[in-house]
Amino acid sequence: MPELPEVQALAERLDAALAGRTLAAVEPLGFAALKTVDPPPAALVGRRAASVGRRGKYLVLDLGGPRLLVHLSQAGRVDVEDPPKRTRPRGAVARFRFDEGPALLVREHGTERKAAWWVLAEGDEGPLAKLGPEPGSDAFAELILHGDDRRRVHTLLRDQRTVAGIGRGYADDALHRAGVSPYATLASLAPERRRVLLDAVRGPWRTRWRPSAPAPVDSRPPASATASPSTGAPGSRAPGAARRCGACPTSPTR
């Protein structure tokens, strides 16, 4: 599954390519990938794209009122077709054509078919309503620095209702950098370790988020966290695969 930085980078690329262009056609290509009925996709045709952003791991195409959401799930991809194509490749989910510009083909590799898209009327939050705060928000900083949640911290970070956009890989890497065991609970962490954890989660985004939380005491992981965070080779992680934590003497089992 694409992680938060990758979704952000994709949203920025699509915004540069599509902002200001008019949606000319919507072609549903995958069975059951469209998760809404009203308004229909045809209602978006002829509307100008105001921007492309993201919320959590959802791509959000703002069409000046109604919005188009795309979630890539485990193996989804977005192909920017310039010039637009008319083929229907294996795993195709939907194609969105724009006047005088590229088309977007959403497709899914592998055997899972979980990539999805939504057409939301103005004011409708759809699946976004269930998402927690972003990792760069004051609400997330308050939770990490002062919360008493007794769930395992790895579970907490991956709960989209608690914090939006963090997946397994991102949580593994953040905990590795912070030197925090995935089996530890947030309530058990000392104040200094909480600040280190917050910085580890926000580290790749500090220049973009400019968080208002206090600066960490020390963002460097302790010596016990220098082992490789993953049991697999880079890029070889399968969905749901267990990963080794450098702060733990044993690897998690599943």
Tokens of 215: 């600066």
Q: Is the pTM for the entire model greater than 0.85?
A: no
Tokens of 3: 């992680």
- Residue 217's nearest CA partner among 178, 247, 181 is 178
Question: What are the tens digits of pLDDT across the range 148-172?
Answer: 999 999 999 999 999 999 999 899 9
Tokens of 25: 């056609």
Integer CA distances (angstroms), 250 to 49, 163, 208, 222, 227, in order: 50, 27, 35, 17, 12
For the chain, domains (ranges, CATH) are 4-130 (3.20.190.10), 138-225 (1.10.8.50)
Tell me the pLDDT band of 111, cut-offs 50, 70 and 90.
confident
What single string gives the DSSP state of each residue in 188-207? GS-HHHHHHHHHHHHGGGHH
Residue percentage of the chain with pLDDT more than 90: 69
- Residue 166's nearest CA partner among 153, 155, 157 is 157
Question: What are the tens digits of pLDDT across the range 186-228?
Answer: 999 999 999 999 999 998 655 444 433 333 333 333 333 333 3
Give φ, ψ of 166 to 5 degrees.
-95, 125
- 29-33, 39-43, 142-146, 205-209 — which is least confidently predicted? 205-209
Give φ, ψ of 213 to 5 degrees.
-70, 155
Say which residue the tokens 């497709």 belong to: 107
Residue 239 pLDDT > 80, yes or no?
Answer: no
The answer to whether residues 187 and 150 touch, using CB atoms and an 8 Å cutoff, is yes
The answer to whether residues 53 and 16 touch, using CB atoms and an 8 Å cutoff, is no
